[in-house]
Amino acid sequence: MRRLFLRETRAKVRQGVQVLGLVGTCGAKPRATGVRLRTESGSEEDLLADLIVDASGRNTHADAWLRQIGVPPPATQRVDAKAGYASRFYKAPRAQSGRGRCGGRACGSSGSRRRCRAAR
């Protein structure tokens, strides 16, 4: 997508810059007119724009930045998808490590053949 975007548009990508906040006009109807950047060299710069899209992810500072220039942040709606993550570490029994799933020699003995097939 990135390659396509850069090929099909006249857009430029600025890498290694950090958005510090918004710049805007004050008054009865304050509005954002750009963003303040910290550039690659560490200096600050205002980048003016007609359209500003916040794509900074879930830790976005957009609400605070809007307030700083006198613009009330938009109402937000949170949807709890009730999704969760779980992870766990397992340690393989010593008999199985490095000898395949059936533990080598035990595989051929008649007593363990059924267990062996089940493990496959």
Per CB under 6 A, residues contacting ligand FAD are 18-19, 55-57
Pick between residue 18 and residue 97 the one whose CB is nearest to ligand FAD.
Answer: 18
What is the DSSP annotation of the chain? Answer: -HHHHHHHS------S-EEEEEEEE-SSS-EEEEEEEE-TTS-EEEEE-S------GGG--HHHHHHHTTPPPPP------------------GGGTTSTTTTGGGGGSGGGHHHHHHH-
Pick between residue 14 and residue 101 the one whose CB is nearest to ligand FAD.
Answer: 14
> Nearest approach, Cβ of 85 to ligand FAD (angstroms)?
7
> Nearest approach, Cβ of 17 to ligand FAD (angstroms)?
7
Pick between residue 58 and residue 120 the one whose CB is nearest to ligand FAD.
Answer: 58
